[in-house]
Amino acid sequence: MNLRAEAVDALQTRLGHRFADPALLERALTHASAGQTVDRVRHNERLEFLGDRVLGVCIAEALLERYPTAAEGDLSKRLNVLVSGATCAAVARALGVGPALRMAGGETRNGLRDNDTVLGDACEGLIAAVYLDAGLERTAGIVRALWAEAMARLDSAGVLNPKSQLQEWAAAKKRGAPAYKVLGRTGPDHAPEFTVAVEVSGLAVATAIGGSRQAAETAAALALILREGITE
């Protein structure tokens, strides 16, 4: 068994699901860089589209049960954090998705196996693959198990405002204020995408994408918080 096959096997063990249709799992783990060239396996972008919606339903239902008296606004804030790319990337890392990904060799050298966007997209693709393989009830149970730690952390209200939490943590650690920098802007005027980096002294830079500069800054702060295990 080669290293990637071992990683895929270990991922299924951590996921708690063995695929009846292994082709679904393979597609979920295939990055676009390899999807058009390797054994005609389609890449995971279409599964990512479906997985985003399935994940939203599973998390929304779990939140309604966990917070029976919460207002819609509070539930929406929690939902946004839990389905964010940063949270999906953190779940993917815990599952060991990176080593199991199928991608062009050059992309591996470029560090994409540990890229938040790539991992988050693969995580959503994986959720869709489970849904297609085993149905919604099974998927909901797996999502609740995988997101249990993130949900527990949301009981600390600071995570609902990642920029404030990061700023307060940095000040307490005497690291200075977080610095945000726009790395790029793409897309049409009616649907722009901003890529933003956040830097805190002594920590590696975290980047994220959002539909506005503010959204991207919030996502970058959350990515850093989740990566470093920052708590209040």
Q: How far is CA 2 from CA 9, 99, 199, 229, in A?
A: 11, 11, 37, 32
DSSP secondary structure letters along 67-87 = -TT--HHHHHHHHHHHTSHHH
Q: What are phi and psi of 152, to 5 degrees?
A: -65, -35
Told to judge if 52 belongs to the known catalytic residues of this protein, a careful annotator would answer yes
Per annotation, catalytic residue among 48, 121, 124, 217: 124
Q: Terminus-to-terminus CA distance in the chain, angstroms?
A: 43
Per annotation, catalytic residue among 52, 116, 133, 217: 52
Told to judge if 124 belongs to the known catalytic residues of this protein, a careful annotator would answer yes
**Contacts with 230 (C-beta within 8 Å, 6 or more apart), sequence order:** 165, 166, 169, 224
Q: Which residues does the annotation mark as catalytic? A: 52, 124
